[in-house]
Structure 1
């Protein structure tokens, strides 16, 4: 069984470099819709048994072509939306982005209790995200697809891998694929991780959530 984590396609909030973490959030723009269609084509030959998405509009729009390619519905879940940025929500100014990047960097040096102002810590994100993963993968065969968000995917995947693997920025509609492995200490092993250098109009190198 494999867990296929997919980041949503591009939104206008991405282009504005705006912190957008509260569902339903911005919808996909024209490029994002094309990216979602391409993701559906990419996964059309995979043995997908279920498709899931966060409550964010952009995640559900990205999941739709993937589900359609397999004749499936999209199941929407609480708990797997982007890490909540609190007081920084809706901002795109340098001060807000630098504040986010400082906290985000702290998480990757092991300070998982660092909080965004009025928002969440890495521990908070994992506490709500990982139980959903456990529910949707329990006793399942084939590929389980979950469409979510850049920072959330990176934090959750790191936890599922036991915080032993190097994790990277996830581009729009990038895939992180984990395989269930009883021999692995955490129960999961890394199968594939899409990565790319961020480009203008996508997200920051730190993976600012949108």
Structure 2
């Protein structure tokens, strides 16, 4: 049986990331210069992988992160199911101590297993997990796409990994993420296994000899 290889990456850095401003599905930000450099470094490292399809969210920061591959003419689909969690009333606001405490309390609520609790005006992990499932079903229904690249967002990526690896959502914080990090997974037809975990080795520029 052939193995489906999934390269799952988070988008590159944006100014919102840099300035600690809450950035969810309601913020359609662009990569900053650092994020663009991260995208180029990832492309240089993985441009020779024979990707059959590139999947992104509908937000431009994910599309910009894989632009080098799109410029090669690779097939590309955008899916709203891959969008970041909606952080509700806190989207676009800077992380004050009060906001940081609210965020910490919400994460604790989720780690305690209450993943149906929504952020004020936004989504819960369970809502995000449910909207990801049609994409996962679609991806798995395409055996001809043996090697795929998926670019999405930090919290949504953690939820996606729980979905793929059959972890309870309360365990999602076990999956670390950084800008333009890579999770490489193999799918045998029944289970996913992780080959690379939050890998950022591609972001280290090789020094000339």
TM-score bracket, normalised by the shorter chain, equals 0.7 to 0.9
Q: Runs of at least 4 residues of structure 1 off by over 6 A?
A: none
> Are 1:114 and 2:117 counterparts?
yes
Aligned-residue offset at 1:72: 0.8
Structure ID, larger Rg = 2
| Contact 2:66–2:151 under 8 Å retained in 1 | yes
1:43 to 40, 46, 50: 46
Cα deviation 1:48-92 (Å, max 9, x = unaligned): 110011111111100211333x53143211111101101111111
1:1-210 alignment to 2 at 5 Å?
Answer: 1-23=4-26, 25-68=28-71, 70-92=72-94, 93-140=96-143, 141-163=145-167, 167-183=174-190, 187-194=191-198
Q: Which segments of 5 or more consecutive residues in structure 1 lack a partner in the other structure?
A: 197-210
**d(CA) in 1 for partners of 2:113 and 2:69?**
34
Aligned-residue offset at 1:179: 1.4
Q: Which segments of 5 or more consecutive residues in structure 2 lack a partner in the other structure?
A: 201-209
Cα deviation 1:20-62 (Å, max 9, x = unaligned): 1135521000010010111112221323110011111111100
**d(CA) in 2 for partners of 1:79 and 1:25?**
15
Q: Which moved more, 1:73-82 or 1:51-60?
A: 73-82
3-state secondary structure, aligned to 1:111: coil
More helix by share: 2
Q: How high is the TM-score relative to the length of structure 1?
A: 0.83
| Contact 1:9–1:28 under 8 Å retained in 2 | yes
Q: How high is the TM-score relative to the length of structure 2?
A: 0.83
Q: Which moved more, 1:9-18 or 1:156-165?
A: 156-165
